[in-house]
């Protein structure tokens, strides 16, 4: 098996399971930053040193069975085309920064794509784990297990008072960034999100739009993550994050109910009009697709649309990204060509489920 298996499908195997509160929380993620004690950090280390580190991790961890017969595949950045890199970024299996260090960076990706261990990004290791739905505590436990498993063979840079030592002061301590990806169409529609974001920021959490430029949230998808990594235990950081996410879930559900009550047919029209446009359009840009998919997802969540599985919507979100489209076409496409191919892929997928 080669790394191509990670490009063939837009939906990662782990996404196919429904997690808790999956109508609002699409995924939970834990990321740990770790460094080796006796090596310079990737930002300053010479390439030979970084290559040695890469080779070590390939030698020790590639195809090494982990839990449930999961094994890790070694994907060096140097072997990927620019379109392939983009695909892996769109699937959140690697970060844009990792692809910049192309000669000295790689990732160990698990077969089910739940775990990606990025090597020589900003830190020697960035261990990330995704779970479907809202289950940060479970994700943390699993990530710690992987952390311990890796640690059997390496000596981490750690200081009794500062914790895990990282390249950037913003990650020192736990080295942990926990996040949830949330679909919040009702809070956006009622503009409630605008006054909630500053309040959430005030609690030391960061809210940002996903797939959008700057603060704009394409498809009403938001990522909420912790800002602070020092002076709080991982469990407490997650508890605070969960508390806020739980409140967002409740408010979103409440507003969805109210919208249905107050707008009635107008809301239904908005939802089905989106489904119609997705099913029959010939040209569609990323931004429009994101908005329409969000409306259809809301329709599914409210029980108005019954024949479209959520998985297909998740798949389309990734499949219609520029990298994926070009991988599909096996060539570089102009923006117009992309908009045409995007519309055609969506039509195809939606006709399959009808």
Partner 1 sequence: MNCQKCQVRPATLHFKQVVNGKQTDLHVCEVCAKENGYMTYPEEGFSLHDLLTGLFNLDSSKIDNIHESPFQQVKELKCPTCKMTFSQFKHTGKFGCAQCYHTFSDHLDPIFSRVHSGNTRHLGKIPKRKGGKLHLKKQIADYRKRLNTLIENEAFEEAAVVRDEIKELESKVKEKKDGDEA
Interface with partner 1 (CB under 8 A): 35, 37-41, 43-44, 122, 144, 147-148, 151-152, 155-170, 172-174, 176, 204, 228-234, 236
**At closest approach, how far in Å is the CB of 2 from partner 1?**
33
By C-beta, is 23 or 122 nearer to partner 1?
A: 122
By C-beta, is 30 or 181 nearer to partner 1?
A: 30
The single-letter DSSP state of residue 248 is H
Q: For helices 322-329 and 310-319, give the axis angle rounded to 10 degrees.
A: 80
By C-beta, is 45 or 187 nearer to partner 1?
A: 45
C-alpha 42/C-alpha 59 separation (Å) is: 19
Q: Which two tokens stand for residue 86?
A: 């983009």
**At closest approach, how far in Å is the CB of 30 from partner 1?**
12
Alpha helices in 180-233 (DSSP H): 185-189, 192-202
Instruction: Identify which of 177, 249, 244, 219 has the alpha carbon closest to the alpha carbon of residue 22.
Output: 249
Instruction: Identify which of 84, 100, 120, 110 has the alpha carbon closest to the alpha carbon of residue 7.
Output: 84
**At closest approach, how far in Å is the CB of 124 from partner 1?**
11
**At closest approach, how far in Å is the CB of 55 from partner 1?**
19
Region of residue 83 (phi > 0: left; psi between -120 and 50: alpha; otherwise: beta): alpha
Using DSSP, state whether 313 is helix, strand or coil. Answer: helix
By C-beta, is 160 or 261 nearer to partner 1?
A: 160
- Answer for the pair 320, 345: CB distance below 8 angstroms, yes or no: yes
By C-beta, is 14 or 144 nearer to partner 1?
A: 144
By C-beta, is 163 or 299 nearer to partner 1?
A: 163
3-state secondary structure string across 118-184 = EECCCCCEEEEEEEECCCHHHHHHHHHHHHHHHHCCCCECEECCCEECCCCCCCCECCEEEEEEEEC
Instruction: Identify which of 116, 45, 146 has the alpha carbon closest to the alpha carbon of residue 106.
Output: 116
DSSP bridge partners of 176? 32
**At closest approach, how far in Å is the CB of 174 from partner 1?**
4
By C-beta, is 240 or 268 nearer to partner 1?
A: 240
Those residues whose C-beta lies under 8 Å from the C-beta of residue 101, and which sit 6 or more positions away, are 42, 50, 77, 120, 121
Numbered residues of the known binding site for ATP: 27-31, 92, 126, 177-181, 208-213
**At closest approach, how far in Å is the CB of 144 from partner 1?**
7
Those residues whose C-beta lies under 8 Å from the C-beta of residue 245, and which sit 6 or more positions away, are 25, 134, 180, 182, 224
By C-beta, is 87 or 238 nearer to partner 1?
A: 238
- Answer for the pair 192, 255: CB distance below 8 angstroms, yes or no: yes
Q: Which residue has the tokens 């739905």?
A: 133
């Amino acid at each position: 098996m080669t790394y191509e298996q990670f490009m063939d499908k837009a939906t990662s195997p782990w996404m196919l399971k429904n997690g808790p509160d999956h109508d609002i929380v699409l995924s939970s993620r834990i990321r740990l930053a770790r460094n080796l004690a006796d090596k310079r950090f990737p930002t300053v280390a010479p390439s030979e040193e970084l290559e040695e580190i890469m080779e070590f991790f390939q030698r020790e961890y590639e195809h090494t069975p982990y839990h449930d017969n999961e094994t890790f595949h070694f994907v060096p950045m140097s072997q990927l085309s620019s379109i392939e890199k983009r695909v892996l970024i769109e699937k959140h299996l690697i970060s844009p920064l990792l692809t910049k260090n192309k000669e000295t960076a790689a990732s160990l990706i698990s077969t089910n794509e739940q775990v990606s261990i990025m090597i020589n990004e900003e830190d020697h290791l960035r261990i990330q784990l995704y779970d479907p739905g809202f289950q940060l505590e479970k994700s943390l436990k699993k990530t710690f297990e992987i952390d311990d498993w890796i640690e059997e063979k390496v000596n981490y840079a750690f200081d009794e008072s500062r914790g895990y030592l990282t390249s950037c002061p913003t990650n020192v301590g736990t080295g942990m960034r926990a996040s949830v990806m949330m679909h919040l169409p009702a809070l956006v529609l009622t503009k409630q999100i605008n006054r909630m974001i500053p309040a959430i920021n005030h609690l030391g959490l960061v809210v940002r739009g996903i797939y959008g430029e700057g603060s704009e949230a394409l498809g009403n998808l938001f990522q909420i993550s912790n800002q602070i990594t020092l002076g709080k235990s991982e469990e407490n950081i997650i508890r605070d994050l969960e508390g806020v996410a739980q409140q967002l879930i409740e408010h979103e559900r409440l507003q969805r109910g109210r919208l249905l009550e107050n707008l009635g047919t107008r809301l239904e029209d908005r939802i089905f009009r989106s489904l119609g446009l997705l099913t029959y359009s010939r040209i569609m840009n990323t931004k429009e697709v994101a908005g329409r998919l969000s409306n259809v997802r809301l329709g599914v969540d409210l029980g108005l649309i019954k024949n479209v599985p959520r998985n297909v919507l998740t798949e389309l979100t990734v499949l219609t990204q520029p990298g994926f489209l070009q991988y599909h076409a096996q060539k570089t496409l102009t923006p117009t060509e992309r908009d045409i191919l995007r519309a055609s892929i969506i039509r195809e997928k939606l006709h399959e489920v009808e």
